[in-house]
Amino acid sequence: RAQLVERDAQLNPMQIRSDCSIYKYYQVADQVLQQFLQHSIEEREELLQAYLVGMRLHGFLERTLPQHGQFASSQPDLVELKRRALQHLQDLTGYLQEIALLIDRQEHEVFISKVLVVGDSTSGEASEKTASSELPPRPPPRPQQQQQSQSQPQHAPPNHPSLLDG
């Protein structure tokens, strides 16, 4: 995972332009967050892609966006957008930890399936133990978000309010 993220950061460095309104950056961050939350994680490549998208957004919210000249503004609407972005960052951190565990579990299962040979008791022949390729669904939403997510697909985390919603 670390190599994947490092290589991605080298290929896709994030820079912020102060001449672009911070509102636009918040809007883009909200759109990326929604894409991340709706991203399928059924297959290995989808899981890795979701992890990369989440890590990019995490880096943007944590390191890049605070460099914008308007980030420290005391305007009430910008203070609220900043507060929401920081809450999204906290939620995103939790989701990324869950995805990392899924990736690690999957890697462990692949490793075990390659190296663990179990004797077949019925035929006396050795057979390779195969790991399940199914990924468990994302954990249920936090209690305060339970009602929002009841109509969502099984593999999607709960909806987050828009950064731009009031």
Question: pLDDT tens digits for 49-89?
Answer: 999 899 899 999 999 999 999 999 999 999 999 999 999 99
Residue 159 has pLDDT above 60, yes or no: no
Rounded alpha-carbon distances, angstroms, from residue 3 to 10, 92, 95, 116:
11, 20, 19, 26
Residue 13: band (very low, low, confident or very high) from pLDDT cuts 50, 70, 90: low
Residue 157 has pLDDT above 60, yes or no: no
Residue 161 has pLDDT above 60, yes or no: no
Higher model confidence: residue 133 or residue 79? 79
Quick one: which H or E segment has residue 119?
strand 117-119
Q: Alpha helices, DSSP H only, in the chain?
A: 2-11, 22-38, 44-59, 76-115
The per-residue pLDDT for 5 is 59
Residue 4 has pLDDT above 60, yes or no: yes
For domain 2-145, give its CATH number from 3.30.1540, 1.20.58, 2.40.10, 3.10.450. Answer: 1.20.58
Quick one: which H or E segment has residue 126?
strand 126-128
> Which residues lie below 8 Å from residue 119, measured CB to CB, with a gap of 6+?
125, 126, 127
Exposed/middle/buried for 115, CB within 10 Å: 0-12, 13-18, 19+?
Answer: exposed
Is the pTM here over 0.85, yes or no?
Answer: no
Domain map (residue ranges) of the chain: 2-145
Higher model confidence: residue 120 or residue 32? 32
**Mean pLDDT of all residues in 106-127:** 64
Which has the closest alpha carbon to 135: 102, 100, 94? 102
Mean pLDDT of the chain: 75
**Mean pLDDT of all residues in 40-57:** 90
Place of tokens 């967050």: 33
